């Protein structure tokens, strides 16, 4: 029977999750979809075993929710919060399995206070779906190790197969676990279990349709990753600095320090605490791998580490539970509240900036504009389709940026099929010939329109300007797009 302490932290966890879902679902409906989410929604219209760059799971998740709730923002945001909720639950249960309910709650409190995992839950992204299955795979494997029951290894294989079908980086789990088992004489015997290898086979069996799809599409997903330049002849110091410097920003400066303290706490217990060793390895491996990828590649994104930091949050939660919260309840609540608010100060600034800009970023550098103005652009494009293609059931939108084409596809009432000049291999659902025969609208920001018009002339003889689609925030023009009618 759960103790009074356990019951308190369970209730606190349920309350925190209710607060999370209510807040971010509501704000997700007020804001526009992130362009990445709109792009994944486009995928969901054309289900496949694979897409350019990535596996298909995020498209399947969106398709499931749109079939239930309709092809609208309600459905996409419900999917986003469902993924976030079950991801948090997976981490909570893993922390409880490794330590106790108090540690589990503080782990989630820490994650809830970080911009990456709280505000980031609005954006339904490949990473979020991958992390969901990755966390549950880690939980199942650890339970199998603790309880010495082989059924959990098969559940881990199932979850990790689904994680691989979400994003290939889930493969990091396997070398991490191999190293975790190898470094301990006690755990080394697990490597001799046939169930471990059958579970591994199950994971790759689930993943195999994506491999088969790539085999029939010239390995497009894997070549796309190599095209990012992961093996540059010269080191990319700027990308590496952006990657490491971005970690305190996505976690919050104060909480970043807490994560590092928790990681150090886990390292000290590494040899005598199996849970600490497991969590340290699952935290550090993505940091090292993606840090090296940023150093040797063209691109760098600090959020790549979102697959590892939640395990670090458990270590930080354990540090709080053992070293900080052995005090009176009033001081626990005060300390927990201060930890929560330090992260939420940054989150609050970002939310405020998106509606009432006060930070001197300039419009081109303001990332909060990524989720503003798309409804207005879609409405303007919808009127243009009514004028240029009256009664046409299937229409097209052209843009150099695939994300720009995707948001118009989502918000224009006609839901036009998107085509991207910049990454034409993405356009698995439409051919150039179909677009040339039918005609299309082309959209571009003013700064790239000259270049985009040149690319459009490869498709069409006649390109007619239709006007501008501006978006105003607090009475000031925040961004603007030009629309063109294209026909042969």
- pLDDT tens digit string along 95-130? 999 999 999 999 999 999 999 999 999 999 999 999
pLDDT at 288 (0 to 100): 92
pLDDT at 397 (0 to 100): 95
pLDDT at 330 (0 to 100): 66
Of 58, 420, 61, 52, give the one whose Cα is nearest residue 214: 52
C-alpha triplet 126, 88, 251: angle, nearest 5°: 75
Tokens of 213: 């799809």
Q: How confident is the model at residue 266 (pLDDT cuts 50, 70, 90)?
A: very high
| 226 or 124, higher pLDDT | 124
Contacts of residue 289, defined as CB under 8 A and 6 or more positions apart, other chains included, come to 172
pLDDT at 238 (0 to 100): 81
pLDDT at 400 (0 to 100): 92
Given strand 462-473, what is the order of strands in its sheet? 417-420, 396-399, 440-444, 476-487, 462-473
pLDDT score of 160 more than 90: yes
Residues 384-414: tens digit of each pLDDT = 999 999 988 899 999 999 999 999 999 999 9
Look at the alpha carbons of 100, 106, 112, 114 in this order and tell me if their dihedral is positive or negative.
negative
Q: Mean pLDDT, to the nearest integer, of 239-262?
A: 88
Q: Mean pLDDT, to the nearest integer, of 441-458?
A: 93
Separation between Cα atoms, residue 168 and residue 226, nearest integer Å = 13
pLDDT score of 231 more than 60: no
Q: Mean pLDDT, to the nearest integer, of 452-475?
A: 91
| 51 or 159, higher pLDDT | 159
Q: How confident is the model at residue 327 (pLDDT cuts 50, 70, 90)?
A: low
Q: How far is CA 445 from CA 401, 435, 452, 483, in A?
A: 10, 21, 9, 9
Residues 12-69: tens digit of each pLDDT = 999 999 999 999 999 999 999 999 999 999 999 999 999 988 999 999 999 999 999 9
| 210 or 332, higher pLDDT | 210
Quick one: 425 exposed, middle or buried, by C-beta within 10 A (0-12, 13-18, 19+)? middle
| 301 or 340, higher pLDDT | 301
Separation between Cα atoms, residue 105 and residue 8, nearest integer Å = 10
Q: How confident is the model at residue 325 (pLDDT cuts 50, 70, 90)?
A: low
pLDDT score of 444 more than 60: yes
Grouping H, G, I as helix, E, B as strand and the rest as coil, residue 79 is: helix
pLDDT at 469 (0 to 100): 92
Four-CA torsion 118, 123, 127, 131, nearest 10 degrees = 40
Share of the chain above pLDDT 70, in %: 93
Four-CA torsion 213, 219, 220, 221, nearest 10 degrees = 80
Mean pLDDT score across all residues of the chain: 90
pLDDT at 364 (0 to 100): 63
Q: Mean pLDDT, to the nearest integer, of 355-364?
A: 73
Residue 45, CA atoms < 13 Å, CB-side half-sphere: 19
Of 169, 180, 412, give the one whose Cα is nearest residue 304: 169
Lowest mean pLDDT among 56-65, 73-82, 148-157, 324-333: 324-333
Share of the chain above pLDDT 90, in %: 66
pLDDT at 346 (0 to 100): 81
Q: Which residue has the tokens 């088992």?
A: 181
Three-state SS across 152-185?
Answer: HHHHHHHHHHHHHCCCHHHHHHHHHHHHHHHCCH
Four-CA torsion 254, 257, 262, 267, nearest 10 degrees = 180
Q: What are the beta bridge partners of residue 487?
A: 462
pLDDT score of 307 more than 90: yes
pLDDT score of 299 more than 60: yes
Of 111, 138, 137, 116, give the one whose Cα is nearest residue 127: 116
pLDDT at 423 (0 to 100): 78
Of 136, 128, 131, give the one whose Cα is nearest residue 170: 131
Separation between Cα atoms, residue 240 and residue 294, nearest integer Å = 5
Residue 258, CA atoms < 13 Å, CB-side half-sphere: 30
**Pairing of the two strands 396-399 and 417-420:** parallel
Q: Which residue has the tokens 């599409």?
A: 217
Which long-range contacts (C-beta less than 8 Å, at least 24 apart) are formed by 226-235?
Answer: 228/297, 228/298, 228/299, 229/297, 229/298, 229/299, 230/293, 230/296, 230/297, 231/296, 231/297, 232/296, 232/297, 232/298, 235/295, 235/296
Separation between Cα atoms, residue 286 and residue 209, nearest integer Å = 25
Buried b (16+ CB within 10 A) or exposed e, 12-36: bbeebbeebbebbbeebeebbbbbb
Q: Where are the alpha helices (DSSP H) in 99-172?
A: 101-112, 126-147, 151-164
pLDDT score of 459 more than 80: yes
pLDDT score of 232 more than 60: no
pLDDT at 53 (0 to 100): 83
pLDDT at 322 (0 to 100): 82
Dmax over CA atoms of the chain, in Å, equals 76
pLDDT score of 453 more than 90: yes
Quick one: 69 exposed, middle or buried, by C-beta within 10 A (0-12, 13-18, 19+)? middle
């Amino acid at each position: 029977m759960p103790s009074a302490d356990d019951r308190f932290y369970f209730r606190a966890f349920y309350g925190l999750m209710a607060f999370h879902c209510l807040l971010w679902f509501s704000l997700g409906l007020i804001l526009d979809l992130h362009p990445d989410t709109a792009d994944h929604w486009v995928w969901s219209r054309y289900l496949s075993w694979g897409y350019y760059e990535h596996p298909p799971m995020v498209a399947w998740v969106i398709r499931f929710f749109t079939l239930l709730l309709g092809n609208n923002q309600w459905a996409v945001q419900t999917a986003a919060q469902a993924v976030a909720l079950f991801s948090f639950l997976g981490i909570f249960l893993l922390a409880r399995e490794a330590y106790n309910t108090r540690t589990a709650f503080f782990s989630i409190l820490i994650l809830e206070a970080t911009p990456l995992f709280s505000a980031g839950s609005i954006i339904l992204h490949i990473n979020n779906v991958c992390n969901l299955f990755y966390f549950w795979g880690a939980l199942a494997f650890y339970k199998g190790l603790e309880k010495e029951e082989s059924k959990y290894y098969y559940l881990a294989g199932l979850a990790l197969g689904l994680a691989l079908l979400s994003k290939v980086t889930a493969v990091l789990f396997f070398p991490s676990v191999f190293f975790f088992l190898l470094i301990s004489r006690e755990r080394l015997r697990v490597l001799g279990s046939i169930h471990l290898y059958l579970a591994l086979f199950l994971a790759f069996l689930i993943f195999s349709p994506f491999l088969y799809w790539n085999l029939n599409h010239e390995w497009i997903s894997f070549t796309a990753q190599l095209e990012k330049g992961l093996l540059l002849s010269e080191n990319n110091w700027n990308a590496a600095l952006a990657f490491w410097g971005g970690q305190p920003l996505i976690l919050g400066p104060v909480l970043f320090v807490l994560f590092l303290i928790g990681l150090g706490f886990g390292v000290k217990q590494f040899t005598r605490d199996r849970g600490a060793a497991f969590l340290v390895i699952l935290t550090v491996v993505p940091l090292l791998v993606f840090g090296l990828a940023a150093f040797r590649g063209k691109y760098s994104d600090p959020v790549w580490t979102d697959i590892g930091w939640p395990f670090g949050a458990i270590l930080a939660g354990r540090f709080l539970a053992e070293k900080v919260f052995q005090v009176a309840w009033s001081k626990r609540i005060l300390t927990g509240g201060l930890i929560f608010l330090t992260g939420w100060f940054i989150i609050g600034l970002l939310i405020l900036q998106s509606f009432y800009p006060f930070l001197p970023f300039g419009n081109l550098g303001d990332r909060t504009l990524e989720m503003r103005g798309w409804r207005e652009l879609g409405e303007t494009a919808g009127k243009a389709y009514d004028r240029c293609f009256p009664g046409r059931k299937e229409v097209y939108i052209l843009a150099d940026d695939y994300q720009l084409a995707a948001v118009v596809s989502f918000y224009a009432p006609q839901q036009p099929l998107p085509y991207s000049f910049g990454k034409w291999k993405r356009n698995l659902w439409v051919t150039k010939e179909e677009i040339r025969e039918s005609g299309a609208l082309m959209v571009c920001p003013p700064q790239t329109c000259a270049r985009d018009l040149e690319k459009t002339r490869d498709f069409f003889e006649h390109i007619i300007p239709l006007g501008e689609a501006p978006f105003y925030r607090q009475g000031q023009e925040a961004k603007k797009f030009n629309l063109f009618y294209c026909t042969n």
